[in-house]
């Protein structure tokens, strides 16, 4: 999967989640099939931090189990950067545990123009991938 496609409305919901969590980072899962994200599953950032995130482990395990049962796939993991650019931090790279998943970052550094980028993070390296948005 060298690209990530967001289905209708998904980007708006990611941005809304980021804004409602501000100034803390928001995070969650994008689920669908292959590189297509049909919907998001917002997760609790159990660090409640302005500069890092960790999805609530219990919530994450339940969500991944539900996906296995529904036949949906994890397309991407998203989180927000309330005041820094849409680039993976050192910690984002060090703690990227899902090499098969894309990582989407939304930046609110310019509140009126949220920036969104997608990456593949594996082996201590982040590579940007194409991001398509279906409106």
Catalytic residue among 2, 13, 25, 130: 25
Assess 3 for contact with Zn ion (CB under 5 A). Answer: no
* Cβ at position 131, least distance to Zn ion in Å: 16
Q: Site for Zn ion (CB under 5 A): which residue of 3, 59, 83, 89?
A: 89
Q: Considering the complex, state which of residue 10 and residue 126 has its C-beta at the smaller distance from Zn ion.
A: 126
Stretch that binds Zn ion, among 12-20, 62-70, 91-99, 118-126 (CB under 5 A): 91-99
Nearest C-alpha neighbor of 13 from the set 36, 35, 29: 29
With beta carbons less than 8 A apart as the criterion, state whether 73 and 105 touch. Answer: no
* Cβ at position 93, least distance to Zn ion in Å: 9
d(CA 24, CA 53): 9
Per the annotation, the verdict on 25 as an active-site residue is: yes
Assess 92 for contact with Zn ion (CB under 5 A). Answer: yes
d(CA 43, CA 25): 11
Residue nearest to Zn ion (CB): 92
18 Cβ partners below 8 Å, 6+ apart? 26, 80, 82, 106, 108, 114
d(CA 40, CA 77): 9
Which active-site residues does the annotation give?
25
Which residues sit at the interface with Zn ion, rule CB under 5 A? 89, 92
């Amino acid at each position: 999967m060298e690209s990530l496609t967001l289905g209708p409305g998904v980007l708006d919901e990611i941005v809304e989640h980021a804004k409602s969590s501000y100034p803390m980072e928001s995070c969650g899962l994008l689920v669908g099939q292959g590189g297509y994200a049909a919907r998001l599953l917002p997760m609790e950032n159990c660090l409640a931090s302005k500069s890092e995130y960790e999805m609530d482990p219990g919530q994450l395990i339940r969500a991944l189990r539900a996906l296995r049962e529904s036949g949906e796939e994890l397309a991407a993991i998203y989180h927000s950067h309330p005041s820094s650019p849409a680039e993976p931090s050192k910690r984002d790279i060090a703690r990227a545990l899902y090499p098969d998943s894309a990582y989407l970052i939304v930046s609110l550094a310019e509140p009126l123009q949220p920036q969104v980028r997608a990456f593949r993070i594996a082996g201590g390296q982040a590579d940007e991938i194409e991001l398509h948005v279906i409106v």
